[in-house]
C-alpha cells in the first residue's frame, strides 16, 4: 500500500468513527428524551367555583364540580395531575371579546344581585367574581401549557362560557372563558392561529359570533340541531376574510359515538390540517351523553375519549401538543363524572 493510499484509508476510518460517534450521541440523546417523563396534565379547580349560586333545581349547579372532583379522585387520576392555581381574569383580557359596556353592566348588576339575566341565567352576589376566576383559571392553564409546566390541561370551572355573547349573558354563561383564552393565547403568547373544538350538545353561538369574521381562529362545533340556541347550521361558515374558519356539524337527535367520531374524522381533521393551529382549546361540554337530561344525543364516556384522542393527534401534528380544555355543559352527575374521567385520562395518556 502506498503512502497516499494509507492516508486515504486513515481519513476514511476517521470519518467513519466520527459518523458513528455522532450517531451514538444522537441515539443517546433520544434515549434520554424518551426516558424523561412528559410534563403532567394540569388541572384547574378552586372551591370558590362552588359559590356561583344558580338557585334551587337549576341544572348548572355546584354539585357538577363536586362530582367531577370525586370522579378524578376515585379513578386515582387526581394524584398524577398538576394543580394549577387560578387567578381572576383582568378586565383587559375579558374585553378582548366582550364589550366594556357589557362588563360595566355586569358590575352594576352585581350590586343589585341576585338578578335574573334571562330565563336560564342568574347573577348572584358572588357570580361575577367567580366568573372572572373561572376565565382566569383557563388563562392560567394556557400559561402553564405554553411554559411547559403542563403538557396539556383541563379546567374544571363554572359558570360555563360558550353561549356568552360580546354584550350579553345567555344560557347559563356570563363570560366566554374559551374565547377569552383564545385571544389571550394570541396576544399574550404570540400564538397566531387558535383552534377551538366545541363538542357541547348545544351550539356555542357566543364563541362563533366572536370569531365569525376572524381567519385567525378556527371554530369547530358538533351539536344537536335543531335545538337551543337554534344556531349552528352547516351553512354558517363565517363571513368576509373569516369565511371557511367556522365549521358546524349539526347532529340529529339520537346520534351517538359513531356519528360524532365520523364528524371529527371527516370534518375537523381536514379543516385543522389545512388551518395548522398553534394552540388548541376545547369547549368540553359533556351533555351530549346519552344519560344527560337536557338533550337527545347518544354519546358515551368512551366516545368522549375517542374525540379527545382525535384532538390530541391534531395538537401533536400542529400545535406542539398544546391543549387546554375547559368545562362547559354536562348535567347528569354520574355521566358527567365518567365522561370527564375518560377525557382527562386520555389527556394524561392513560387510555
- DSSP assignments along 88-145, one per residue: PPPHHHHTTTS-HHHHHHHHHHHTT-SEEEETTEEE-TTHHHHHHHHHHHHHHHHHHH
Determine what percent of the chain is predicted with pLDDT higher than 90.
Answer: 89
pTM: 0.90
Query: Is 190 or 31 the better-scoring residue by pLDDT?
Result: 190
Closest Cα to residue 242, out of 217, 271, 277? 217
CA distance 155 to 55: 23
Whether 5 has a pLDDT exceeding 70, the answer reads no
Give the up-direction half-sphere exposure of residue 19: CA atoms within 13 A in the CB hemisphere: 6
**Region 110-123: what's the mean pLDDT?**
97
For residue 99, the SS3 value is: coil
Residue 127 has pLDDT above 70, yes or no: yes
Segment 193-241, tens digit of pLDDT: 999 999 999 999 999 999 999 999 999 999 999 999 999 999 999 999 9
Please tell me the distance from the alpha carbon of residue 109 to that of residue 104, in angstroms, as a whole number: 9
pLDDT band at 68 (very low <50, low <70, confident <90, very high): very high
Strand 115-118 versus strand 121-123 pairing type: antiparallel
Q: What is the mean pLDDT of the chain?
A: 92
According to the model, what pLDDT value does residue 241 have? 98
Q: Which pLDDT does position 275 carry in this prediction?
A: 98
**Chain centre distance of CA 277:** 13
pLDDT score at 228:
98
Percent of the chain with pLDDT over 70: 89
Q: Which three cell numbers stand for residue 218?
A: 378556527
3-state secondary structure of 117: strand
Query: Is 110 a residue whose pLDDT tops 60?
Result: yes
Instruction: Give the gyration radius of the chain's Cα atoms.
Output: 23
Over the range 30-62, which residues count as b (16 or more CB within 10 Å of their CB) and which as e? eeeeeeeeebbbbbbbbeebbbbbbeeeebbbb
**Which pLDDT band holds residue 22 (cuts at 50, 70, 90)?**
very low
Q: 38: pLDDT confidence band, cut at 50, 70 and 90?
A: confident
Bigger pLDDT: 299 vs 33:
299
Choose between 220 and 15: higher pLDDT: 220
Q: How confident is the model at residue 190, as a pLDDT?
A: 98
Question: What does residue 49 show for φ and ψ, rounded to 5 degrees?
Answer: -60, -20
The continuous run of DSSP H or E covering 17 comes out as helix 3-35
251-275 per-position pLDDT tens digit: 999 999 999 999 999 999 999 999 9
pLDDT at residue 124 is higher than 50: yes
Give which of 304, 308, 48, 294 is closest to 156, Cα–Cα: 48
**Centroid of chain to Cα 287:** 15
Please check the confidence at residue 16 and state whether its pLDDT lies above 80: no
Q: Which three cell numbers stand for residue 59?
A: 341544572
DSSP characters for 249-295? Answer: EEE-TT-BHHHHHHHIIIIIHHHHHHH--SEEEEEE--TTBTT-TT-
Closest by Cα among 66, 84, 73 to 134: 84
Residues designated catalytic: 163
Measure the CA–CA gap between 47 and 157, rounded to whole angstroms: 10
d(Cα 288, Cα 280) in Å, to the nearest integer?
A: 21
Which residue from 280, 339, 285, 271 is spatially nearest to 311, judged by alpha carbons?
280
Report angle CA 201, 185, 192 to the nearest 5 degrees: 100
For 16-81, strand residue ranges (E) read 41-44
Of 24-38, 80-94, 236-250, give the lowest mean pLDDT range.
24-38
pLDDT higher than 60, residue 7: no
pLDDT tens digits, 41-61: 999 999 999 999 999 999 999
- Residue labelled with grid coordinates 357566543: 206
The pLDDT value given to residue 6: 38
pLDDT at 11 over 90: no
Burial of 259 (0-12, 13-18, 19+ CB in 10 A): middle
Residue 30: pLDDT over 50: no
Q: How confident is the model at residue 23 (pLDDT cuts 50, 70, 90)?
A: very low
Residue 17: pLDDT over 80: no
Q: Which has more confidence, 291 or 24?
A: 291
Amino acid at each position: 500500500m502506498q503512502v497516499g493510499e494509507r492516508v486515504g484509508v486513515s481519513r476514511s476510518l476517521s470519518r467513519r468513527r466520527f459518523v458513528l460517534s455522532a450517531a451514538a450521541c444522537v441515539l443517546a440523546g433520544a434515549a434520554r428524551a424518551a426516558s424523561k417523563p412528559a410534563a403532567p396534565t394540569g388541572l384547574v379547580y378552586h372551591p370558590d367555583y362552588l359559590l356561583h349560586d344558580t338557585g334551587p333545581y337549576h341544572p348548572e349547579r355546584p354539585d357538577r364540580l363536586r362530582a367531577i372532583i370525586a370522579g378524578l379522585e376515585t379513578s386515582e387520576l387526581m394524584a398524577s395531575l398538576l394543580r394549577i392555581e387560578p387567578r381572576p381574569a383582568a378586565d383587559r383580557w375579558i374585553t378582548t371579546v366582550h364589550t366594556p359596556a357589557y362588563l360595566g353592566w355586569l358590575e352594576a348588576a352585581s350590586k343589585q344581585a341576585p338578578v335574573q339575566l334571562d330565563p336560564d341565567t342568574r347573577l348572584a352576589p358572588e357570580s361575577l367574581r367567580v366568573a372572572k376566576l373561572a376565565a382566569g383559571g383557563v388563562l392560567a392553564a394556557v400559561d402553564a401549557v405554553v411554559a411547559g409546566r403542563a403538557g396539556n390541561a383541563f379546567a374544571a370551572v363554572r359558570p360555563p362560557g360558550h353561549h356568552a355573547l360580546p354584550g350579553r349573558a345567555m344560557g347559563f354563561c356570563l363570560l366566554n372563558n374559551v374565547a377569552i383564552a383564545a385571544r389571550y393565547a394570541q396576544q399574550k403568547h404570540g400564538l397566531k392561529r387558535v383552534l377551538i373544538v366545541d363538542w357541547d350538545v348545544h351550539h356555542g353561538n357566543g364563541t362563533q359570533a366572536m370569531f365569525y369574521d376572524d381567519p385567525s381562529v378556527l371554530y369547530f362545533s358538533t351539536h344537536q340541531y335543531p335545538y337551543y340556541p337554534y344556531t349552528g347550521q352547516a351553512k354558517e361558515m363565517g363571513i368576509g376574510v373569516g369565511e371557511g374558519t367556522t365549521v358546524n356539524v349539526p347532529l340529529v337527535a339520537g346520534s351517538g359515538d359513531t356519528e360524532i367520531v365520523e364528524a371529527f374524522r371527516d370534518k375537523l381533521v381536514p379543516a385543522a390540517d389545512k388551518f395548522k393551529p398553534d394552540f388548541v382549546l376545547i369547549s368540553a361540554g359533556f351533555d351530549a351523553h346519552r344519560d344527560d337530561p337536557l338533550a337527545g344525543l347518544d354519546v358515551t364516556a368512551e366516545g368522549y375519549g375517542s374525540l379527545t384522542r382525535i384532538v390530541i393527534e391534531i395538537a401533536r401534528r400542529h400545535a406542539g401538543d398544546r391543549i387546554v380544555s375547559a368545562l362547559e355543559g354536562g348535567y347528569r352527575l354520574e355521566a358527567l363524572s365518567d365522561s370527564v374521567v375518560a377525557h382527562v385520562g386520555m389527556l394524561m395518556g392513560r387510555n
